[in-house]
């Protein structure tokens, strides 16, 4: 009786494995939904739509992009974490969704590092560190020296409390000992307008939000957070060139699937992203936007998420940042 039970369990396991392998081999046989957990038209929406055509060509199926904003991106991320692990519901989330929000939102019902499987870092969006032209600093080290000479007199803005631009400057404050006052806004456009009015004296944002203002001379770029100088701003030094260690100023967009999604499906999706990286139109668009292509190396992505989660959790704890502040 026991032997028959063991054989039955073994047969059921073999059947289930065969079914999963067959499904993975046929993937995808229908359109794939990609949830962006922020409003339509934002950086995440732009990112996925930039790579969608070559990805669709590689996959032979359409990508259906759906905006599902709310709770700092948690609503959309939760929807994907709870979806069937078959590769047909994906998340294109930002840095916040994977390595920051779990330290700010005490009632999150999932762990993005363990409940979501990374497929690809689709795009990294290096920040430009902007200041107002009235500030007597042409470089980031000069700004830091000026801030030290004027403690508590300079403001920095962010698109919202707890966002990467906010926490990156908090990390910079911890690293350098400068005293800046945080002013959160409702999105990047209002923060940039505050910088133009000199209501704030420091702001971290992508090339797209400030390029026109740089040309007009109404904002001043101090440095870029990318490893190399950006083609869109070739005269602006990197943090390394400025003699300053990175303080997590970049914001990246990661494509992820629910935990339990078969490795073969993850690999198939990754190859489609690689096809997008190789596409000249995508490359040109990313360069214009100031984006850099990411990676589909799964082991590297897992290690990066774990390391960044530890680092941001440490910043939040040391700076005493609480969401209800």
Residue 57 sits in the same domain as residue 86: yes
Residue 116 sits in the same domain as residue 135: no
Given a contact cutoff of 8 angstroms between Cβ atoms, the answer to whether 256 and 116 are in contact is yes
Given a contact cutoff of 8 angstroms between Cβ atoms, the answer to whether 33 and 61 are in contact is no
State pLDDT tens for residues 12-46: 555 444 444 555 668 999 999 999 998 877 889 99
- Among 3-7, 21-25, 265-269, name the most confident range: 265-269
Average of per-residue pLDDT across 189-200: 95
The band of 281, judged by pLDDT with boundaries at 50, 70 and 90, is: very high
**Is residue 137 assigned to a domain?**
yes
Nearest to 222 by CA among 157, 125, 134, 143: 143
Q: Is the pLDDT of residue 3 over 60?
A: no
Q: What's the CATH number where 219 sits?
A: 3.40.190.10
Residue 254 sits in the same domain as residue 313: yes
The whole-angstrom separation of Cα 163 and Cα 321 is: 11
The band of 324, judged by pLDDT with boundaries at 50, 70 and 90, is: low
How distant, in Å, are the alpha carbons of 183, 184, 190 from that of 194?
10, 10, 6
Q: What is the number of domains present in the chain? A: 2
Helices (H), the chain: 2-26, 43-59, 74-81, 95-99, 112-115, 140-149, 164-176, 188-196, 207-216, 263-277, 280-289, 298-319
Residue 97: is the preceding peptide bond cis (ω within 30°)?
A: no
Domain end marker among 189, 207, 224: 224
- Share above pLDDT 90 across residues of the chain, in percent, rounded to a whole number: 74
Domain end marker among 179, 208, 224: 224
Confidence (pLDDT) at 186? 83
Which residues make Cβ contacts (< 8 Å) with residue 118, sequence separation at least 6? 254, 255, 256, 298, 301, 302, 305
What does DSSP say about strands 202-205 and 154-158: parallel, antiparallel, or unpaired?
parallel
**Helix 43-59, helix 263-277: angle, nearest 10:** 110
Q: Which domain holds residue 259?
A: 31-124+250-319
Confidence (pLDDT) at 7? 61
State pLDDT tens for residues 290-318: 899 999 999 999 999 999 999 999 999 99
Confidence (pLDDT) at 15? 46
Q: Look up tokens 């007009």; give the residue.
A: 216
The band of 1, judged by pLDDT with boundaries at 50, 70 and 90, is: low
Burial of 106 (0-12, 13-18, 19+ CB in 10 A): exposed
Nearest to 167 by CA among 113, 107, 267, 100: 100
**Is residue 74 assigned to a domain?**
yes
The whole-angstrom separation of Cα 121 and Cα 294 is: 5
Residue 218, helix vs strand vs coil:
coil
Residue 176 sits in the same domain as residue 199: yes
Geometric angle at alpha carbon 136, from 218 and 192, rounded to 5°: 35
Q: Which two tokens stand for residue 225?
A: 């957070």
Beta bridge partners of 129: 204, 223
State pLDDT tens for residues 86-136: 999 999 999 999 999 999 998 888 999 899 999 999 999 999 999 999 999
Confidence (pLDDT) at 8? 54
Residue 217 sits in the same domain as residue 254: no
């Amino acid at each position: 009786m026991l032997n028959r039970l063991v054989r039955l369990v073994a047969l059921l396991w073999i059947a289930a494995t065969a079914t999963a392998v067959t499904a993975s081999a046929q993937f995808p046989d229908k359109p794939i939904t990609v949830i962006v957990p922020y409003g339509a038209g934002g950086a995440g929406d732009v990112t996925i739509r930039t790579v969608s055509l070559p990805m669709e060509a590689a996959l032979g199926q359409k990508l259906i992009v759906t905006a599902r904003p709310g709770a700092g991106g948690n609503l959309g991320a939760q929807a994907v974490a709870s979806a069937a692990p078959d590769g047909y519901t994906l998340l294109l989330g930002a840095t916040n969704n994977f390595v920051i929000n779990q330290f700010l939102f005490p009632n999150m019902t999932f762990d993005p590092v363990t409940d979501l499987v990374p497929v690809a870092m689709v795009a990294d969006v290096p920040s430009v560190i902007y200041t107002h032209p009235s500030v007597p600093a042409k470089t980031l080290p000069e700004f830091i020296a000026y801030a030290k000479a004027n403690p508590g007199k300079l403001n920095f803005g962010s698109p919202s409390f707890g966002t990467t631009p906010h926490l990156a400057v908090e990390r910079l404050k911890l690293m350098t000992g400068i005293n800046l006052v945080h002013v959160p806004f409702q999105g990047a456009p209002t923060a940039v307008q505050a910088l133009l009015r000199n209501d704030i004296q420091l702001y971290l944002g992508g090339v797209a939000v400030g390029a026109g203002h740089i040309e007009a001379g109404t904002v001043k770029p101090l440095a870029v957070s990318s490893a190399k100088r950006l083609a869109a701003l070739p005269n602006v030094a990197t943090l390394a060139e400025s003699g300053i260690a990175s303080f997590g100023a970049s914001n990246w967009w990661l494509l992820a699937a629910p935990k339990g999604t078969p490795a073969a499906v993850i690999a198939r999706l990754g190859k489609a992203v690689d096809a997008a990286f190789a596409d000249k139109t995508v490359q040109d668009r990313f360069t214009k936007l100031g984006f850099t292509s990411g990676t589909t190396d799964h082991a590297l992505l897992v290690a990066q998420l774990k390391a960044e989660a530890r680092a941001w959790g440490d910043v939040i704890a040391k700076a005493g940042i609480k969401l209800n502040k």
